[in-house]
Amino acid sequence: MLLLRYLAPAVAAAALILPQPAAAQNFSEAQRTEIQKIIREYLLANPDVLEEVSAELNKRQAVAEAAKQASAVKKHSDALFNSPRSVVVGNREGDVNFVEFFDYNCGYCKRAMTDMMDLMKADPKVRVVLKEFPVLGQGSVEAAQVGIAVRMQDPSGKKYLDFHQKLLNSRGQADKAKAVAAAKDAGVDMARLEKDMASSEIKATIEENFRMAEDIGLNGTPSYVIGQQVVVGAVGLDTLKEKIAAARRSVER
């Protein structure tokens, strides 16, 4: 692993220094060998160059990834922010969209939920959109299926938010049984819940969320889209507030 860590920057450095294929055809094999020798000796004498190249490579990759994510967010903006398959809580007419992809078996999502609730209290203008993203196994899929069925009978999102908190705060692994118990505690119509869980809407919702997440490049939970910016991980309340403030500034320009 240590070799690979330094090999990649060295290859990148060589790519920057060596002629491109079309130009390289003008060099003989002996000349190419001599050039490679010079590069090797230079890198051995100046190993800090490897760190500089690695940092520049990481920077360029980050910029490219951010551009790719921004393009995907734009492509899926309607489904991200306005899909009828999402749950909207907080201020429905809020000035900044705060989309969270979560998994009921994600330990970090429990902390992220506290951040979200504190955020809604501190910022009444934020519009929170919740999307089930069950990536942690069958129990997560079952819990998401129940959650979607709760959403189907609760346009206001109030019972869903109660269910959401109860299930994320529960001990142990989330599955259908725990999710159904949380739905019952939230006052959901249980007969309708069982009926809705057999609906094609359940599968369609999960597929829609996974399709968006894949295009945007989300591979874990919690993940956010705040305004037009992608944020991955339980980054904490202060960072979330900073991202929301940045989103507001971008809209005001």
List pLDDT tens digits, range 72-100.
888 888 999 999 999 999 899 999 999 99
Q: Which residues contact 107 (CB under 8 A, 6 or more apart)?
A: none
Tokens of 213: 């997440």
Evaluated on CA atoms 28, 30, 33, 37, the torsion sign reads: negative
Distance CA 112, CA 56 (A): 32
What is the CB neighbour count within 10 angstroms for residue 207? Answer: 11
Tokens of 251: 């809209």
CATH class of 77-252: alpha beta
State the pLDDT confidence band at 54, using cuts at 50, 70 and 90: confident
Q: Do residues 100 and 128 lie in contact, with contact meaning Cβ atoms separated by under 8 Å?
A: yes
pLDDT surpasses 60 at 41: yes
pLDDT digits over 144-171, tens only?
Answer: 999 999 999 998 899 999 999 999 999 9
pLDDT surpasses 60 at 224: yes
pLDDT surpasses 60 at 57: yes
Closest CA to 157 of 127, 180, 196: 127
Distance CA 142, CA 178 (A): 10
How many helices (H) does the chain have, and how many strands (E)? 12, 5
Question: What pLDDT is recorded for position 82?
Answer: 93
State the pLDDT confidence band at 25, using cuts at 50, 70 and 90: low
Q: 3-state class of 223 per DSSP?
A: strand
Q: Do residues 250 and 227 lie in contact, with contact meaning Cβ atoms separated by under 8 Å?
A: yes
